[in-house]
Amino acid sequence: MRKLRNKELNRLSVEEFKLTEKTPIVVVLDNVRSLNNVGSVFRTSDALCLEEIYLCGITPTPPHNEIHKTALGAEDSMLWSYHAETTLAINELKNKGYTVYCVEQALKSTSLLDFKPEQGQKIALVFGNEVKGVQQVVIDEADGCIEIPQFGTKHSLNISVSAGIVLWEANKYIRRF
């Protein structure tokens, strides 16, 4: 076995990426404060060829050196938009036919183990603030919550880790690769 070289990875250029069919998943960041977390979500979203990122509330926006440090240029390839109010962004997505799920520990949440969206289904996944999580007013507007099973003492994952786990799982079903 040999590690592949960068030129063997068949990476798309930014222009090719923008023309490529995307998985119909929109990531919504609800008051995520860390520039590094935002950059990581950009990079993960690019890697999975997702549709768009909505940056809401206090979530920082590109261009910013600290976002670029973890995004590694994905802030240039990914479509993104800023929304002052997350609830308004959620309503916009619902009007566009997206089913909206918050990634949060909540009563009557769906375990990620049981979350199996349909192929081609349009979904939006909301990830919340590093300390407070997703705002309750946003949960109230969503169609449901998805919870990542956890077994230790913290029951808390970094938002970039949560995003990687949930986006991979959702992408697996919607994209069917």
Per-residue pLDDT of the chain (177 residues), as tens digits, is 999 998 899 999 999 999 999 999 999 999 999 999 999 999 999 999 999 999 999 999 999 999 999 999 999 999 999 999 999 999 999 999 999 999 999 999 999 999 999 999 999 999 999 999 999 999 999 999 999 999 999 889 999 999 999 999 999 999 976
| 23-175: CATH architecture | 3-Layer(aba) Sandwich (3.40)
Which tokens go with 128? 């919340």
Query: Do the beta carbons of residue 170 and residue 125 sit within 8 Å?
Result: yes
Q: How far is CA 13 from CA 53, 77, 78, in A?
A: 19, 9, 12
Helix (H) or strand (E) holding 28: strand 23-30
Residue ranges of domains in the chain: 23-175
Q: What is the pTM of this model?
A: 0.96
Instruction: For 80-117, give one letter per residue: b (16+ CB within 10 A) or e.
Output: beebeebbebbeebeeeebbbbbbbebeebeebeebeb
